[in-house]
Structure 1
């Protein structure tokens, strides 16, 4: 039993497979905690799913996949009806829009999976985006959405649909608020709190992923968050200045996000984050924040950071900012976004920056 668990955990730590053969040849191992006599490991569906795929030779793709992702579609767009692909839920049903082929029922809720035809959540739920490729792109993710319903509704009312929303999984009416955001055209992410420097004095909450936990425990926490709602394109790591510098803790988490067809956004809580390097090795769709607006800066400081975001986009072609849902940030973003075209910039959803930024 102990050896079997070690083999499964070791399978997660895959470093840069390009083919199934390379994955088999380059499979490293992780050391796991030895269980006491008679002690049973806590189950984890991500580990079970990934082990099953490995034994079936799928190499991380769902059954029936040709190895290519489907075309990017609108949130909740129906499947093509081929094979086992299911359509969307009826429009009159309450709750977020999602595709049945992109979820599996588990004890932790409906978790995202790669569809039998190879489609992924990050592409299917991405906001459609077409723009002149020569124009620099700026993406904004508003995090911690859902904690205040009034701020969620204000953001939906006043902000352009190109701004992406990332919801806290602690929101009491998460499904309803996600559905409101989807209806207004915003693509949706989930906040995943990760261990910051100074933990536990600096504690993001009980679901925080920790370097002190085993891979199984962290993946159980991750699954619990992923199962809170449906119809999202990916996750953004919140805090995480400690966690995103720890390769052994971070790699299994990013591996599962890859296997479940999601996109990962790093909030760049630490300049020493290695998340993008690992994500690139795993071929996980990724992006990283270039600038963050904190909870309490003065208006002038917020404007300075938005200007810096523009300069980053003009210099490199792509820039991503992370902002909190505050009345002042909603007002500022609404007026700022309207001025971007006159400066030759385009506001883009976060998924439009996937794999576009340099690793450093």
Structure 2
């Protein structure tokens, strides 16, 4: 009985052994150990797409969902329009920015068109009377509190007509005007008529712009952080960290820098900050933020 069993086992095992030997001959030899780096690479490698590209589609969907989940940062750069120092550096930043162009200056139209061609949002950086400051800092076409209603309206409309592709206005200086209900009411009326919005640069902490915008059914957009209140690249880089902190805690942040005497330094600081923040926040145009945060979908009436 035992002999018979051994014979049966041998009959069954011989084909199995042959199969194992043939398989070993066909499979190329592999190292006995895999380094930690190799193991991480093997585990993290994406699955290849099938003939229909299903994994590519899945990766794209996951990427879109991740971007939507990221906090948003809108970087507005003021004072374009006069070929100011730092203009080229700002246009070459590796993220979407918003270009605020002062009207009636030598490169106002050129800067606005270039920004639009690059896919950047354009704002009219409207000169407005400050509480303090030199009148010559305002530039041409400024809105003053001494003007009557018709004069204010004419100034706002002329500035909008002078800067192509503008989707909104923000104030240049303007600490006196943004605290004046009569004048701000006219500015916001013109914005609403043209399907624009107003971004309060927040040069006046008693500004009425946000409250009045809400009352008119418009988005109460305001600046949260000035990047270059101290004119050095290192300070701007530090301010960008504050921007990141606010964006992560509040879901979004609006921040303002400038071209001008220290424009190159500001651009360098922003670029440095972008490198640190690129995987933590999403850089958007101000119109993207306004549309997503305040559901603002007005129809623009462009000149």
Fold shared per TM-score above 0.5? yes
2:264 aligns with 327
Residue 182 of structure 1: which of 113, 116, 123 is its match?
116
The answer to whether residue 137 in structure 2 is matched with residue 137 in structure 1 is no
1:147 aligns with 82
**Deviation, structure 1 residue 241:** 1.1
CA RMSD of aligned residues (A): 2.4
Residue 348 of structure 1: which of 284, 291, 295 is its match?
284
Q: Where in structure 2 are the equivalents of 1:42-57 lying within 5 Å?
A: none
Residue 234 of structure 2: which of 296, 300, 304 is its match?
300
Residue 276 of structure 2: which of 316, 339, 344 is its match?
339
Count of aligned positions: 227
Q: Secondary structure at the match of 1:338?
A: helix
Structure 2 residues not aligned, in runs of 5+: 1-63, 295-303
Change (3 A) 1:333 1:260: same
Q: Pick the structure with more helix per residue.
A: 2
Q: Secondary structure at the match of 2:143?
A: coil
**Deviation, structure 1 residue 138:** 0.8
Change (3 A) 1:131 1:153: farther
Q: Say whether the 8 Å CA contact 1:189–1:232 is kept in structure 2.
A: yes
Comparing 213-222 with 178-187, which one deviates more in the overlay?
A: 178-187
Distance 2:65 2:109 in 1: 28
Q: Secondary structure at the match of 2:170?
A: strand
Distance 2:237 2:89 in 1: 20
Deviations 1:204-231 (A, max 9, x none): 1342212221111111111121111321
Q: Say whether the 8 Å CA contact 2:237–2:270 is kept in structure 1.
A: no
Distance 1:333 1:199 in 2: 27
Q: Provide runs of 4+ in structure 1 moved above 4 Å.
A: 199-203
Structure with more relative contact order (C-alpha pairs < 8 Å, separation 6 or more): 2
Distance 2:190 2:120 in 1: 25
**Deviation, structure 1 residue 311:** 1.4
Q: Where in structure 2 are the equivalents of 1:193-204 lying within 5 Å?
A: 193-198=127-132, 204=138
2:204 aligns with 270
Deviations 1:282-339 (A, max 9, x none): 1224421001134653333322322221111111111011100101111221232132
Deviations 1:93-152 (A, max 9, x none): xxxxxxxxxxxxxxxxxxxxxxxxxxxxxxxxxxxx997333211110011112116633
Change (3 A) 1:181 1:150: farther
Distance 1:317 1:200 in 2: 37
Q: Say whether the 8 Å CA contact 1:149–1:177 is kept in structure 2.
A: no
Q: Secondary structure at the match of 1:237?
A: strand
Q: Say whether the 8 Å CA contact 2:72–2:247 is kept in structure 1.
A: yes
Distance 1:297 1:150 in 2: 13
